[in-house]
Amino acid sequence: MTSVLVADDQELVRLGLRTLIDNEDDMPVVGEASDGLTAVAVAQRTRPDVVLMDIRMPGIDGLEATRRITADPDLSHTRVIVLTTFEVDEYVFDALRYGASGFLLKDTSPAELLQAIRLVAGGEALLSPSVTRTLISEFVHQPPRPHKPHPDLKSLTEREHEVLVLVGEGLNNDEIAERLSMSPATARTHVSRVMIKLDARDRAQLVVFAYRSGLVH
């Protein structure tokens, strides 16, 4: 079973999401929230597997709500999917930096939404290579932020460092395998080891670490 919390300030959107998700036998909606503070409180009370989080909400926004949820040790298993209207929302990168496992456009098809929830609940990052590249392209053209290398970056082997760079560039495991002349299974293993060494919640956070460490240009 994958429990879901829906956080959006529009009642019609919440109703539509609840109706869609509740029709699935293995995916109960355990709560709703119309603002950020309520989203955090309901998450702490219900401990959902996945939170669908709108960014623009009254009170504290979805960004701050995401930060509070992912920072709560009691919610360490909870994953946040950010809902946005635009492919590159001005807050998406910060949402990922604060621990979101990825994001969805609000016009995503019902089947894709349900698949996304299951993927994220299973520990995958909801960040396609094309979206990753778009994000990176968007932010490298903004005024540069000071690099903050991850403190455990030196613990990576040379191969793991190469893998991290390629993850940051938006390559999936098959593409990494082809680039580095290894099997997809080996690429998956390297990605998993990098996640463990850098204490990353998921692949999306590896992209953030690579960007903030100055490995992606």
Mean pLDDT of the chain: 85
Q: What is the pLDDT of residues 42-71, one digit of tens each?
A: 999 999 999 999 988 988 999 899 999 999
- In terms of residue numbers, what domain contains 179? 153-212
pLDDT of 142 over the 60 cut: no
| End-to-end CA gap in the chain | 40
**Number of compact structural domains in the chain:** 2
**Where residue 171 sits, what CATH number does that domain have?**
1.10.10.10
Q: What is the pLDDT of residues 71-130, one digit of tens each?
A: 999 998 999 998 877 655 566 677 777 888 877 888 888 998 898 899 888 877 666 555
Domain final residue, candidates 126, 142, 167 = 126
Mean pLDDT of 11-35: 94
**Where residue 20 sits, what CATH number does that domain have?**
3.40.50.2300
